[in-house]
C-alpha cells in the first residue's frame, strides 16, 4: 500500500517549463540543458543557497552540501516560502541526467530522487515573481555497482498521476512474482537468480505524484531469453504520454514516447523486448485495455495501492 502526498498548488502543463530544458540530443548523449531556459541550473552554482532578494527561501532538513548515502531512492525535504511546486535537477559531468517535480505543501517541500552510482550534483529550485533560487549539493551514492541494465519511466502529467513501470522476466507475466513492479520490487530486489545481486531486479521509487522518474535496474547475471518492459496507467489519468529510456551500463541506448495512455483505450503499453545477455533490444510498441498475458501465462490482478 502506498500513500500519495497531495500538492497544494496544481501546476498547469504550460507552467512545467521543462520542455525546453529537456533538449534530448539522442541516445547516449544524456539530456542537454538549454542555457536560456531559466529552470535549468546555470553554470557556476556554488554549494548551498543561490538566490536574489525576494526569491524563494530553501532550507533543506539535511543542509549538508556533501552527502554520502547507500540508498538510491534519496529523499529531499525541508521548508520554503515558495507557493508553487519546484523542480529537482540531477547533473553529472555538466549534463542534466534526470529531473522531477518537488511537491510544495504549505511551508514544506519533499521529493524522492533516484540516484546514479557515484557523485552527482543535485539542485532544488523554486520560482516566484522576484526570480528563481537554487539549493545545490553533491550527493554520492556509495556501495553500488553500475547496473548492467536500467529501464527508466517518466511522464507528462501530475500531480498525483500514477504511471507504473514493469520489467518482466523471460516466460513471466504481468502482476506476478515474475514481474518487477511497485507491489513486490520497490527497494528490495526480487530473487530471480541466486541469492544476492545476480539477476535480481529492483525498483527504486514508486512515484504516485506525477512526472517520475521510476527506475528498474538489474545489476548483473541476467537470464537467457527476452525480458519485457511495460508501462501501466494505474490511476487512469487521461492524455498521459509516457517516455521509457533503456540503458546498458548507464549509457542510454533506446527511448520511446507513447501515445496517450487513456483508460479503456490504451491502459497498458508494451514497450520493448530486451535480451540482456546479447544486449539486443526489439521495439514492440503495442497497447491493450486489459492486463496482458505473456507466453500463454495467466496474469494476476495488481493489488490496490
What does the pLDDT look like over 37-84, one tens digit per residue? 667 788 788 999 999 999 999 999 999 999 999 988 888 999 999 999
135-181: per-residue pLDDT in tens?
999 999 999 889 999 999 988 888 788 999 999 999 899 999 999 99
Structure confidence at residue 26 (pLDDT): 45
Structure confidence at residue 300 (pLDDT): 53
Rounded to whole angstroms, the Cα distance separating 277 from 258 reads: 26
Structure confidence at residue 21 (pLDDT): 44
Question: What is the DSSP secondary structure assignment for residue 199, as one 8-state letter?
Answer: T
Please indicate, yes or no, whether residues 171 and 278 belong to a single structural domain of this protein: yes
Determine the 3-state secondary structure of 12 from DSSP. coil
Please indicate, yes or no, whether residues 104 and 191 belong to a single structural domain of this protein: no
CATH number at residue 106: 2.60.40.10
Q: What is the mean pLDDT of the chain?
A: 83
**Has residue 294 got a pLDDT over 80?**
no
Structure confidence at residue 125 (pLDDT): 94
Cα dihedral angle (124, 260, 185, 67), rounded to 10 degrees? -10
Rounded to whole angstroms, the Cα distance separating 153 from 213 reads: 5
Please indicate, yes or no, whether residues 58 and 178 belong to a single structural domain of this protein: no
* Residue 5 counted as domain residue: no
Rounded to whole angstroms, the Cα distance separating 119 from 300 reads: 40
Q: How many folded domains does the chain comprise?
A: 2
Asked whether 150 and 204 are in contact (CB, 8 A), the reply is no
Rounded to whole angstroms, the Cα distance separating 182 from 214 reads: 10
pTM of the shown model = 0.75
Structure confidence at residue 141 (pLDDT): 94
Amino acid at each position: 500500500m502506498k500513500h500519495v502526498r497531495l500538492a497544494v498548488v496544481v501546476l498547469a502543463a504550460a507552467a512545467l517549463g521543462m520542455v525546453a530544458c529537456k533538449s534530448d540530443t539522442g541516445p547516449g548523449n544524456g539530456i542537454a540543458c538549454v542555457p536560456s531556459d531559466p529552470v535549468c541550473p546555470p553554470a557556476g552554482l556554488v554549494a548551498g543557497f543561490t538566490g536574489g532578494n525576494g526569491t524563494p527561501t530553501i532550507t533543506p532538513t539535511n543542509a549538508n552540501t556533501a552527502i554520502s548515502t547507500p540508498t538510491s531512492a534519496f529523499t529531499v525535504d525541508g521548508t520554503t516560502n515558495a507557493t508553487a511546486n519546484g523542480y529537482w535537477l540531477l547533473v553529472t559531468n555538466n549534463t542534466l541526467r534526470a529531473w522531477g517535480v518537488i511537491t510544495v505543501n504549505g511551508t514544506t517541500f519533499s521529493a524522492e530522487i533516484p540516484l546514479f552510482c557515484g557523485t552527482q550534483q543535485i539542485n532544488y529550485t523554486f520560482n516566484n515573481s522576484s526570480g528563481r533560487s537554487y539549493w545545490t549539493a553533491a550527493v554520492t551514492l556509495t556501495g553500488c555497482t553500475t547496473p548492467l541494465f536500467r529501464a527508466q519511466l517518466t511522464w507528462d502529467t501530475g500531480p498525483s498521476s500514477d504511471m507504473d513501470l514493469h520489467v518482466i522476466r523471460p516466460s513471466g507475466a504481468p502482476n506476478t512474482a515474475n514481474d518487477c513492479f511497485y507491489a513486490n520490487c520497490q527497494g528490495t530486489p526480487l530473487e530471480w537468480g541466486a541469492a544476492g545481486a545476480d539477476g535480481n531486479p529492483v525498483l527504486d521509487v514508486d512515484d504516485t505524484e506525477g512526472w517520475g522518474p521510476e527506475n528498474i535496474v538489474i545489476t548483473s547475471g541476467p537470464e537467457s531469453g527476452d525480458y519485457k518492459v511495460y508501462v501501466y496507467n494505474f490511476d487512469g489519468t487521461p492524455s498521459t504520454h509516457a517516455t521509457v529510456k533503456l540503458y546498458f551500463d548507464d549509457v542510454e541506448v533506446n527511448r520511446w514516447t507513447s501515445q496517450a495512455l487513456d483508460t479503456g483505450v490504451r491502459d497498458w503499453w508494451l514497450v520493448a523486448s530486451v535480451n540482456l545477455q546479447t544486449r539486443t533490444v526489439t521495439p514492440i510498441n503495442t497497447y491493450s485495455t486489459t492486463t496482458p498475458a505473456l507466453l500463454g501465462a495467466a496474469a494476476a490482478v495488481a493489488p490496490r495501492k
